[in-house]
Amino acid sequence: MSVFNSAFAQLDLIRQPEQQAEPLQAFDAADEYLLNQVHEQGLAADARVLLLNDSFGALAANLAGRAQVTSSGDSHLGYLGLRANLARNRLAADAVHFVPASAVAQGPFDLVLIRVPKTLALLEEQLIRLHGQLAPGAQVIAGAMIKHLPRAAGDLLEKYLGPVQASLAVKKARLLRVTPTAKPAPTSPYPTRYRLEQPPLKLVNHANVFCREDLDIGTRALLPHLPRHLSRTRAADLGCGNGVLAIAYALGSPQAELTLVDESYMAVQSAEQNWRAALGDRPAEIRAGDGLAEQAENSLDLVLCNPPFHQQQVVGDFLAWRMFQQARAALVTGGELWIVGNRHLGYHAKLKRLFRGVEQVAATPKFVVLKALK
């Protein structure tokens, strides 16, 4: 729990997923700077406001009920944070309309507040989608902590929207104010596509997908060692990204029943398209989720995972450790978790704390492939 004091309200905000003694806040000085700017210039009750990449709802919870607020982002955990923070502060759940980044928020909007995301491709796609969605005289303000604000973000704002004016720094945060001008309709470079030789696949990758231009080297290390099962097997690709692990496993295990889950809406969108292209109408559950939190206990025989080592700008193994715990709960006795990870992360020791057996299946100079038995 942490208290956020802004020009609009004093709020009790939490991050998602929750953890005890949370060392990080669900907001930062860039959120405060953006809200102070909006408060100074005034906000009409009928103003149509779009919030992009509002991590855990800090902006939305402050503006809820004060305008017509739409929030859009690519994180399902961010969406869960928005819902939780509205509830914690006794704000109506329907006071903020949420649109996943896999869909387009429908304007016109009078004010757009943007938290600059880590992935600039996501920002570019979001700016492209704003074409035709801004009301006459609309304001667009982007904000970020200076250490997370690359020059390229301002270049993209200028390319797709109009001239940009950078603010003075306040508490190590900066705003970029945009003056929207008429621009020709842009053509989006997303999704991107690349080919995989083995198995032979052409993979679609929407703007915020990890390693959008080519297969990441961790997954490349795991692919040749995927298990094969001829009998009916219940398997999950945890943190599925574009779905390549699940698809490759399914091609070699014709009776397997697959669940693909990721917290990125654009990853799920990519995985759905790639699964249909490779496997047609073969059934699979493909969804955005908080890992395997919604998976029934003892319901899976196999979990495949290339765990992330960061959440937005924050680096650490908290999410990976949580995924391992979720996998153990979801697996039947005798079920297996297969992972790939950087050698230096020491996943072997961590898995031994949860599983009765851990085996190194393969290794490269940088990665290890591990199999953990429940």
Average pLDDT, the chain: 93
pLDDT per residue as tens digits for the range 186-231: 999 999 999 999 899 999 999 999 888 889 899 999 999 999 999 9
pLDDT per residue as tens digits for the range 60-105: 999 999 999 999 999 999 999 999 999 999 999 999 999 999 999 9
Q: Using CA atoms, how far apart are residues 335 and 372, in angstroms rounded to an integer?
A: 8
> What are the backbone angles phi and psi of residue 188, rounded to the nearest 5°?
-80, 135
Which parts of 137-230 fold into alpha helices (H)? 151-160, 217-222
In the predicted model, is pLDDT for residue 267 greater than 70?
A: yes
pLDDT for 76 equals: 96
The set of residues, in sequence order, having a beta carbon less than 8 Å from that of 90 and lying 6+ positions away, is none
Which parts of 214-373 fold into alpha helices (H)? 217-222, 244-252, 265-279, 318-330, 347-352
pLDDT per residue as tens digits for the range 275-287: 999 999 999 999 9
Show the tokens assigned to 210. Answer: 């990890």
Q: Which of 231, 234, 236, 241 is nearest to 262 (CA)?
A: 241
In the predicted model, is pLDDT for residue 127 greater than 70?
A: yes
pTM reported for the whole predicted model = 0.94
pLDDT per residue as tens digits for the range 48-57: 999 999 999 9
Q: What number is the average pLDDT over the span 339-358?
A: 91
- Burial of residue 300, with CB atoms counted within 10 A of its CB: 0-12 exposed, 13-18 middle, 19 or more buried: buried
In the predicted model, is pLDDT for residue 310 greater than 80?
A: no
> What are the backbone angles phi and psi of residue 238, rounded to the nearest 5°?
-90, 115
In the predicted model, is pLDDT for residue 313 greater than 70?
A: no
Q: Cβ distance 275 to 286 under 8 Å?
A: yes
- Catalogue all structural domains in the chain, each as residue range(s) with its CATH number: 2-178 (3.40.50.150), 192-373 (3.40.50.150)
